[in-house]
Amino acid sequence: MRGWRPSGGMLGDNSLVPVYNERSRLRPAISWGEGHRCRRIQATSRYNLMEATSMDRHTANRLRKRRGVALRGILITGGLLVTLPLIGWLILPRLSLSSEESGPMLATVTRGPFVHDITERGELESASNVDITCQVKSRSGGVAIIDVVPEGTMIDPEHCVPENAIIPLEAILQVEQWREENGFRIVGLPTPSGLPPAESIDTDGSRTTLTLAASEASGPSGGTSAAEATGSQSPGPAGSDGRASGGQSAGGGKVADSNGEGQRDTGPSAPSVKGPPVLTFEDIKDKMILVKLNSKELEDQLIQQKIVCENSKAAVEQAKSTYDTALIAMKEYLEGKYQEEWQDLQRQLVEAQESHSRAKEYLSYSQILYSKGFISDNELAANRFDVTKTQLAVEMINTRIKVLEQYTKEKILGQLRADIATAKAKLAAVEQSYELDLKQLRDIEEQIVNCTIFARRPGQVVYANLRGRYGREEIVIEPGTTIRERQAILRLPDPRRMQVNAKINEAKVALIEPGMRASIRLEASPDELLYGEVIDVGDYPAPT
């Protein structure tokens, strides 16, 4: 098939010449070019030929623009490569010249003390606290706080119960019922608010900044400021070191040394008495209750345990009756049934012996009569049979007496002794079980008593909140918080013996020794500077 192509010797003219398309015999092929680039398209009419010509011009313009952009980029890059080294060559000599002209910094060497100050944050606390702990025995999830007196509440001596006094459960239940009927708060004093007139404690002032003189070449350490910081060793309003707890059925009456050195008597020596006093409702109704713990579950256990104790008591009575019956059966046999059987056999023996004696007399008389012919042979034989019969009866009764004394008596006594031993063992078992049930009942009552903690020491109440990592509080004392056994709930600090508990970085703790001077600044009083001394450095790092 014929086609068209540009005429002339070069491929840029617009004249067309026919060409032959080998691949397609249906459509004419048109080829044109610009310079040394050619392009071949399929065209079906002259309109397609005009469209192809305009597209070739657009492509040529776009190629010219690309060549211009590339040329400008090359020129800019070359200029930078030449300019930057020239600028660096001009500036560097001036910088080196200014360094040489300035020279090293010089100072005069002198001899004097070197003080290394270490500044850390700490907690202001009392060195002597009376800890009021939870004495409710540990259970699966602990025990929850129902109500607690506000922090900062002042406890006066007249609001406290004696430390060694025992408070019965009945008295506590009467106090709770009396307060509920009168609309009083369960904790605190028997008033609608439960609060005595007291000043609020500034808990924000417990944060301090401790500055320690860790090392110094010369100069005194301690002095008058250290003495003022340590203070007097006499007990404050909260008493000496101690730990107030629930005690044995006393609602928080056991006091132990906070250093773990055991219990001690803090009161004056008194003459020997029979035991600790047992308080009544009238003795405790006007006293201050510090903490009320949840005792609902314990009260349910108390009811169930009372039922168990009643069943155990019935079992004890039944076992006692069985044991007493066994003892009576033994006495009954020895003094009753055995004597009755033995006497009956003795009676039968006497009767048999009497019959045998008469039978022998009849036989002798019959033999005389038989010799004279007054009786027959049969009558004589009958008399002889009666003698033999009575003789056998006597022997049989003697045998029965022997069996009774040697066998029957021992057999029955052995059975009765076994019954007595069994009844005694069962009685001992049920009595021990009853004692255990009663002990558990008393233990539950004691736990219920420990759920109501009375004030036993004067002082100011501070919550025993526990701080975790990064100063965050892990346990916050408030209603609803679950408390475990022996965990501190409240503290009664001694304001006369205060200390700062600071955590020093492990890299700096080796520079601190007991006796070094320390300056303390409270966040509550930032303008006032206190002085003290280091009294203890921990041997091991604090847990994080």
**Is residue 300 included in any domain, yes or no?**
no
Same domain, 232 and 151: yes
**Is residue 12 included in any domain, yes or no?**
yes
* pLDDT given for residue 96 in this prediction: 52
pLDDT at 353 over 60: yes
Region 292-308: what's the mean pLDDT?
93
Same domain, 337 and 443: yes
**Is residue 179 included in any domain, yes or no?**
yes
Same domain, 45 and 162: no
CA atoms of 385 and 61, how far apart (whole Å):
170
Q: What's the number of domains the chain is made of?
A: 3
Question: What pLDDT digit, counting tens, does each position of 261-295 carry?
Answer: 334 444 444 444 467 889 999 999 899 999 999 99
Region 75-101: what's the mean pLDDT?
67
**Is residue 92 included in any domain, yes or no?**
no
Same domain, 33 and 121: no
pLDDT at 441 over 90: yes
Backbone φ/ψ region at 105: left (φ over 0), alpha (ψ -120 to 50), beta: beta
Domain extent at residue 40? 5-83
Same domain, 123 and 56: no
* pLDDT given for residue 47 in this prediction: 44
Same domain, 474 and 331: no
Q: How many CB atoms lie within 10 A of CB 98?
A: 8
Same domain, 154 and 181: yes
* pLDDT given for residue 160 in this prediction: 92
**Is residue 539 included in any domain, yes or no?**
no
Nearest to 153 by CA among 109, 111, 197: 197
Q: Are 345 and 354 in contact (CB under 8 A)?
A: no
The residues, any chain, with a CB within 8 Å of residue 470's CB and separated by 6 or more, are none
- Element spanning 299, H or E: helix 296-332
Region 88-117: what's the mean pLDDT?
69
Least confident of 112-126, 198-212, 521-535: 198-212
Please give the angle made by the CA atoms of 213, 214 and 215, to the nearest 5 degrees. 100
Same domain, 25 and 145: no
Residues for the chain: how many in total?
544
| pTM (global) more than 0.85 | no
CA atoms of 415 and 333, how far apart (whole Å):
11
Same domain, 439 and 459: no
Least confident of 53-62, 165-174, 374-383: 53-62
The residues, any chain, with a CB within 8 Å of residue 2's CB and separated by 6 or more, are 18, 19, 20, 28
**Is residue 71 included in any domain, yes or no?**
yes
Question: What pLDDT digit, counting tens, does each position of 386-421 carry?
Answer: 889 899 999 999 999 999 999 999 999 999 999 999
Q: How many CB atoms lie within 10 A of CB 80?
A: 9
Which of 138 and 454 is assigned the larger pLDDT? 454
Same domain, 410 and 338: yes
Region 187-207: what's the mean pLDDT?
58
Which of 174 and 23 is assigned the larger pLDDT? 174
Region 494-519: what's the mean pLDDT?
87
Q: Are 137 and 248 in contact (CB under 8 A)?
A: no
Q: Are 92 and 458 in contact (CB under 8 A)?
A: no
Same domain, 432 and 477: no
pLDDT at 120 over 70: yes
Region 529-543: what's the mean pLDDT?
84
Which of 237 and 27 is assigned the larger pLDDT? 27
User: Of 421, 447, 473, which one is at a domain's C-terminal end?
Assistant: 447
Edge-to-edge strand order for the sheet containing 517-522?
498-502, 115-126, 207-216, 517-522, 529-533
Q: What is the CA radius of gyration of the chain?
A: 58
Same domain, 408 and 520: no
**3-state SS class at 76:** helix
Least confident of 1-5, 240-244, 525-529: 240-244
Q: 230 is written with which tokens?
A: 């340590």
Percent of the chain with pLDDT over 70: 67
φ, ψ (nearest 5 deg) of residue 427: -65, -45
- Element spanning 40, H or E: strand 37-42
For 120, 195, 472, the CA distances from 540, given in Å and listed in that order, are: 18, 43, 22
Q: Are 292 and 147 in contact (CB under 8 A)?
A: yes
Mean pLDDT score of the chain: 75
CATH number assigned to the domain comprising residue 358: 1.10.287
Region 320-338: what's the mean pLDDT?
93
**Is residue 97 included in any domain, yes or no?**
no
* pLDDT given for residue 275 in this prediction: 79
Is the sign of the CA dihedral 144, 124, 158, 239 positive or negative?
A: positive
**Is residue 209 included in any domain, yes or no?**
yes
SS3 content of the chain, % helix, strand, coil (to 5): 45, 20, 35
